[in-house]
Amino acid sequence: MSSENPISRRDLVTHLGVGIAGAALTAAAPSAHAQTASGATAAPFADPTAKYPKPPYPGQSQPWPGLASKMNPRPDHGETSYKGSGRLTGRKALITGGDSGMGRAAAIAYAREGADVVISYYPTEEPDATEVIQLIRAEGRKAIPIPGDLREESYCKDLVAKALAALGGLDIIVSNAGRQQQCEDLLQLTTEAFDATMKTNIYAPFWIIKAALPHLRPGSCIIATTSEQAYDPAGNLYDYAQTKAATMNYVKSLSKQFGPKGIRVNGVAPGPIWTPLQVSGGATQDHLIHFGETYPLRRAGQPAELASIYVQLAANDASYTTGNIYGAGGGGGQP
């Protein structure tokens, strides 16, 4: 060392330590430019209480089973908001009630995640179904519409056979379609109406799952739409609430039976979600107008807000999730 610039070993170590620490801090703290770039690409930050319309909603009614395209406000199924990332590439899905509600949200999300999709719907729901088919095909995926009446065993069996033929197999079944007709007086509930709810909500999943089971490989999954009504039933939804409790129960039963086969079975339990169920006889006008108002988020949910749950339950990284019910209740606490 030069005597003109004397430095001790201790000074040298101290200076080196400061330099290394400073470099580490510089590397750890992103520059203002990096922060700006990150913020520009970040997902939108949203207050869940203000994200969608709040009650009071306009009074309205439609003939059963109703159309989402005629609702005011029109439900959001993720048509413009859902962005995929290839989580379900190459998968083959059958979704009942795929024209509207959670079924439509799942169909859109599945297509954007890379899956081919068959949707089942009641024939009068064709206008809504046509929109969904167009959205799926816009993603370059197969979209197969198969209309019919789920209350008929022959249709349910035919639905599975056609789905298998069209897609070349099946590995995701979303049993979502449901019938909900409120009745405030048990004495006014007819056997015909009770039977229609049972056939749609309980018999149809039995027929469909039974027909599809021999074709499901290990890694396949079944996802059922149950409801908060399974846990906290309304007085005027006597028959519907029973079927949703039964749905929750068959998820847990079949997950035990199918687990050794490598087939997962799970459920989704929505709270108050804005779908055609409410405007086509599923709720009184007063309940519809104030739908979701008493919940902590102070509004009804939208089908788009559940899409990611259906994706997660179908994805490979949920491989240890079976026999579970995922809630989306707006703070209502069910399940």
* DSSP result, 272-290: SB-SHHIIIIIS-HHHHHT
d(CA 112, CA 118): 14
- pLDDT band of residue 2 (cuts 50, 70, 90) is very low
Domain residue extents for the chain? 85-328
Rg over alpha carbons for the chain, rounded to the nearest Å, is 25
Looking at residue 41, its pLDDT comes to 60
Lowest mean pLDDT among 21-30, 130-139, 267-276, 319-328: 21-30
Cβ–Cβ < 8 Å for 252, 259: no
- pLDDT band of residue 44 (cuts 50, 70, 90) is confident
Residue whose tokens read 């379900």 = 88
Catalytic residues: 240
pTM score: 0.88
Phi, psi (deg, nearest 5) at residue 10: -65, -45
* Burial class (CB within 10 angstroms; exposed 0-12, middle 13-18, buried 19+) of 20: exposed
- CA dist 78 to 108, 129, 188, Å? 7, 15, 38
- pLDDT band of residue 334 (cuts 50, 70, 90) is confident
Cβ–Cβ < 8 Å for 107, 51: no
Position 1: which residue type?
Answer: M
Instruction: Report which of 284, 195, 181, 289 is spatially closest to residue 238, judged by C-alpha positions.
Output: 181
Kindly tell me if the per-residue pLDDT of 26 is higher than 60.
no
Residue whose tokens read 């989580």 = 87
Residue whose tokens read 């995922």 = 326
Q: Please state which architecture CATH assigns to domain 85-328.
A: 3-Layer(aba) Sandwich (3.40)
